[in-house]
Structure 1
Amino acid sequence: MFTVFGIGVYYWFYRFTTDKTLQRLKDDLRISAIASSQQIDVDEFVTLSQTGKANQEGGSDDPLYQKQLEWLYNLHQINPKIFIFTFIKDDSQTQEKQQIRYLVDVWMNIDASKSARFLESAIATPYHINTLTNGTVEFRDFYQDKWGKWMTYYAPIRDKSGKIVGAIGADMQIDEITQLQKEIQRQFLVSFGISYPFFLTLIYILTTLLTRRFQAMQKYAQAVGEGNYQPNISLSSEFKFSFFNDERIILSKALEEMTGKIRQREELLNAIFNQVAVGIGIHTLDHKIKIVNQTFCRLIGYSEEELIDRHCCDITHPEDIELSKKYIHEMIHSKVFPPSTHEKRCICKNGEIIWIEMAITIIEDNHKNPKYFISVIQDITRRRFAEKKLIEAANTDFLTKLPNRGYFIECLDDLLSQANDYLHNLFALLLVDLDNFKTINDSLGHLAGDQFLVNIANHLSDCVTDKDIVARLGGDEFAILLTSIQSIEDAIVVANKIQTEISIPFYIHGQEFVTSASIGIVLSRNLASQTKYLVASDLLRDADIAMYQVKNKGKNNYAIFGQEMYENFIHQLKLENDLRKAIGEGSLSLYYQPIIDLKTGELYSLESLVRWFHPELGFLTPNKFLPIAEQSGLIVELGNWGLKTACHQLHQWHEEKLISENISVNVNIAGKQFDGKDLLTQIVKTLSETKLSPSHLHIEVTETIISHNTVNVTKTLKKIKDLGVKIAIDDFGTGYSSLARLRNFPVNEIKIDKAFVQPLNTHPRNVKFLQGIITLCQNLELKVVCEGIETEAQNNILSDLHCNYGQGYLFAKPMSVSDFELWIKNKTKRDEERKKNQNSESNFIKGEL
């Protein structure tokens, strides 16, 4: 019976320990997957998935790949049992079964033979599909693939808008788990093998001794009771007595001997009690300590005498007392006593705070009522520290150490809930977006950009109090939560402080940088109507609207969200959707404005200008919809459409002999079209499709675009110019370029803004100033086009200044295709009649002579 009981206890404790260990491993795996998916730099992840290329080793030479691999390896260092990788949905496959593509696998830094290759395809499992499609966190239990046996958690990666752009997988090798289970099994077997024989021997010895002595004493007492005062029964060598010894003395000696045996047994049990690896305490129902073992004393730092009759709360951290009392109360008054644990902090004698895991067992009296409870404790401080690190990693931005987007939104929701409970609670959200971060990133690289963001994070933290929250939402976007303010003026003070603080020059790699920020401000409730926000997403949306209004009005300022701003945002959003639809349906049109050779009066080129006839709002000028296209990114698609349409139209006119084959078309290029590598490819493709000669295409780039991104734009323009395409700087004189910098740009023409043309006949200085510009440009072998010519006087002055070309209402307004065709026919007819008259006059003069 003792054997069966002992084996049962050991087996139960073994299974309990094994199951709990496995559950902890799964919890660590799940936390790692979720934390990594929220912490990853989404912009870099998307860029890498779109532009990264694999190398022969199975990885990638792309810096973004190397940076993300290093980041995954750093996470692996925190918990070496966990291996993290990223993947995306493969939308390019033609197979019937859905597939995924692996991106970055931390195994590439550990053992490349176990690593998925960069952009390697694999058949998607239901776990992959659910995570990438539904955004759920999926657990895949023990399975095997070509790299080994694993268990894995998958978590979705979302961009700022919440769209799923990929997923992260956190692996743990089954061999690792099996080895851990074997180690636990081995330790239990060793412990069982060592302790159980000793336990059986002890029970056997004690039972034998006590039974024999008891039987002897029983026989002796029976003999004495029967009148045999000298029975031939041996109790021990000490039981020597004479015939005159009273039987009570004999029984007393027998009981003393039995007491000695029992004392020996207690000492043995006490030795076992004090030498176990866990702390054990026996307590009264009012939480008084009655008995503790040496391990309990060693963990807490008090002696046994100092702990006896002490209340449990005396050694419990004040913040954990109520929760601990509740747990013990539930255990004591529960009708069923299931095995349960509770974690709390204890204060040691030396003041050190440790975390313990406590399990409670109830001791009942003969009437099945609780009498005592036994607490079994063990130190879990290291485990709690590791868990805290994982939680911090899940809630903290890896680069700046500020709270990340997920944690910030949780804080925002909590604050909204408190503000809704108490009407007088007012707080403000400030959304801060840096105005020129991309310039630093492009010019100095990502490492310098990262250092810049860390500096900004420190400056923002200096602008608020300890009660406020500063977070990095992603990229160069930060958020500040002013948790308690009295009025909107308090938020404005902070916004002005931020502008002042970050305007101080930064020095990165020895180079000075000056930045600014666009700040959107929104209050937790409307002070006039007392209407309140209910969810964090609405608050972030309105702060974003206010911030983008600042961007659209020139940046480096702040704006406070209001109802009028929201209505304007809805209008802009509708206009954006209509514009997207118009581009897709081809309901936009190009107008063409002639550029005239001022010397001959002949048509030199045509500038293509986009126009939109909105079905509800009517004819819209470009200034109504081009800023929306710029802000939304539609400008790239719109620009590509304009380029293709203009080239196709010019080629058609050439084929129809409507215009001379030496006439070109000018196409405006937006700044965002230079961001990727598609512009050069699009131009080559368009020229090939339309069969237009490169020399007949002129692209116009504003002066502002070149001055803000000199290196990238200049490289692209040089490649375009090498094709034979001509480059023109548009609106020259309105940006930040100087005449001295013109020689550094690969351009053919300068288009001088109408602001310099219109005042020509008002003062001689204006003429001299423009003459200087024209002369310098021509010395640099650049053609000059003057815009905005509206009068004959302006035309005559520019002709006298030897300006090459002119454009303006004097010659023609921008015209639709049909209007231009009519205009060019009439112009051609007039030119032919003029030449005919000139020839007649010339012949008449010759005849007279």
Structure 2
Amino acid sequence: MASPLAIIYTATLGRAGTWSAVSPQVSAMLGFSAQEWLAENRWYQQVHREDRDRVLTAAQRSAENGQPFRCQYRLYHRDGHILWCRDEAVRLAPDSDQFQGLIFDITQEQQAEQTLAELVTSTAAVTGQEFFHLLVRRLAAALRVRYVIISEWLDQENVRVIAFWAGDRLHPPFTYKLSVAPCNAVLKQGKICYYADNVQAQFPDDPDLVAMAARSYLGVPLQTRHQQTIGHLCVLHDQPLPDPEQVRSLLEIFAARAAVELERDRAEAAFKRSSEQFHAIFNHAPIWMAVVSLDGRLLRVNRVCCQLLGYTTEELCQMTCAEITHPDDRELSSQAYAQLARGEVNNYQLEKRYLTQAGQVLWTISSVTLVRDSQSKPLHALAQIVDITERVQAERSYRSLFENAIEGIFRSTPAGHYLAANPAMAKILGYTSPAELIATVRDISQQVYVRPEQRAEFVQQIELFNEIAEFEYQIYRRDGSIIWVSENARAVRDESGQIRYYEGTTEDITERKTTENQLYFLAFHNPLTGLPNRAFFCDRLREAINRISRRPQYLFAVLFLDLDRFKAINDSLGHSTGDRLLRAIGARLQTCLQAGDAIAHFGGDEFAILINDLASPTEALQIAELLQAQFREPFQLDDREIFTTASVGIALGRRAASQTPYQHPEDLLRDADIAMYRAKQTGKACCAIFNSQLAVYTLSSLQLETDLRRALERQELCLYYQPVVSLTTSKITGFEALIRWQHPHRGLLSPGHFIPLAEETGLIVPIGLWVLQQACQQMQTWQMQGLLDDTVAIAVNVAGRQFAQSNLVSQVKEVLTATRWPAQRLRLEIVEDAIRGNEAAVTAKLHQLRALGVQLAIDDFGTGYSSLSRLHRLPLDILKIDRSFVSGADRRSDNLEIVRTIVDLGLNLGMRIVAEGVEVAAQVEQLRNLGCHDAQGYWFAPPMSAAELASHWLQRP
């Protein structure tokens, strides 16, 4: 069969040649039928007139010598347009004048070569930005595309467009985010990327693709000779690319040239920046800088040099370094510079003096560096000079400051004796002079520190960090009195790194510490009774709450005590008497407490007591009664006896119902306060434990747990089934198995009454396995009875605790084997919380379940804590929208938007979408319009027993 890309022919060649046969492809290629072509001997007429002589000469030569005929020339199409072709023919037999040949259409190849030649020619003589602008314009025309972009990769997040041809003109440069664009892989992976169509759908967050209405994209990286990607060259079009292979070929060719230009631009820019930086540093440096010739002449100086020396730039550039150097330093300075100029050293540093124009002496540290040429020959020197005049003057004045400082200044050895001290240091320690201090104190840790272990702490910290700041400790003065001091010190080391001595300052902070202690007491104590206040008590409560996590058996209680009739005492006897009574009560209550307990006065007549390490809740009641017993004896205030009582509320550290600890101190105090008010309602001088009535509820919960453990044995659990309906066909696609409990006394219970308890106690594991077995067995029974279509699936919920079981996969496999229910028709609906843990372990288990053939669904999506960033990495098939979002979608726009977002997310991840809780027709229509696949809810059917479902919904075909 002839190729549609070539004409096969048989003919005699030469000027008198005739064609005897031609393939039908002549019609597709040149517009003539085979009959017309042969009858009219069209070949010679259709050869381009400029090519005829050359072609006929070559044909005549082959006819005469019998050699194969090969020639490229142009042919006219019937409609007049010109095609390039390649003609190849060979003699049929040695004694025959007939040749058989093929004519190939190579128009596109010629056009591509011509395009490439034009592009190369037009861009050969330009460089830099002009090259980039010309290249994008010529590529857009040659490739027949709307957009051509050349970009520079700035960093991991940003790309700068340096040339952008759009439609019919150049656009100015701009920067865009790499993470949302199709060039991400081109730049970060250094590979060619091609998107034939719908590129916007693949990069929905790229606003530029939308603005350009782009459909296709092809990009190639710009790489240096070291294969480092520095940018990219790409084309975009509002239609599929006309000729992707030609586009790719041309982009690869010109990407190499563009990379060279971009790298050269970068190098030039870097050199320019470097040069500008040097000049900027030189001219604006805060220190002297000068360029010095090898013979010591100043070639160039900066502004600071002129300012400090008092000369102009012109004056200094006519001088030598020796002329501005102090006479006493010239010899040493000249020797060092001569050694540098000879190339014997590359740099040196000297402390030397310069003279200003006014004769002032400037102390400096001069750092001089030799600059060499590319052959390492010395060119000149760069001098960097730091003015240390102030430092020298400061050092000279240091001794005066040392002697007259208000703070103590010292120098001491690691062994613990003073090397030096100023008068203020001697005064702080109670000595008459520094000499007396140094002579007397031979062991600082024993003679000065009140707590010698703090000296060890001081030494340890300064060895680790080389300095210490505001180190506070108590010291003995010479007379034995104790004061507080604050010390700042640093270690001075020798060349080997060993500490030679410590030096620092010491300040007497005794007065400040006294004030701080007073402020601390006021912040955490009641000013009337001196007892800790609410803030202090809450700190102690927080410690007790945290202790529970470390000691599971630990039990504590808070007793909230409120005086009975205190207002009457205050009103009748006066506030002064009331205050004295509160102080007396606080003192008496303290006598009842043990070492680990705590008491606080909250203000008014309210006291709180923390009792630690209780043996049982009963002990808390006993202590409360002991506290109340303290009020049986009157309080003697002057000559008056005052009787009062107190009501006590008790809150245990663990909640009565769940035995879980409190999380916040304020919650515990609140419950103790509530219990106290309940005690007051009972009568004066009573006690009450918070939520004691929950004991009834606790007993009820225990009974329910006992009943639930027996429910499986007594076959009290049963399954209801709710149909899942296709929103497209309205046919049943499956059922969800929903558990019910036929309780012998409470009647039919829905899952909400017992599943939380089952999860808490771990009973959910055997119950979940029972549900899986029963559901698969029932479906297989219906299948055997011919009541089910072969595609109907059963959905079974998997709780978090059940999913965590190591043998879950084997259990599912065993159930499928035992019931003979097809794995592909089993859907395991897993709650979001179950897949929150270790991602690797969760993913592995999901893959194992998937390997069995079952379908995996994420249940009640949007109500748990699943991470959208990892959802796409999990092997899930189905996404179920929670009823809480569906129920209001027909009335509330926010609910509808949430549902829309979830549906779009699931569809983008290739998941099947099932909506729960559909109750009205409007919701059905909304879900169908959003693209949701299936739905379930009371609009279709409520959950039904197996018998009811079989009789009303399932029918034999």
TM-score bracket for the superposition, by shorter chain length: 0.3 to 0.5
Higher relative contact order, chain-length normalized (CA < 8 Å, sep 6+): 1
TM-score normalised per structure 2:
0.32
TM-score, normalization by structure 1: 0.35
The structure in which a higher percent of residues are strand is 2
Point out the structure with max Rg over C-alpha.
2
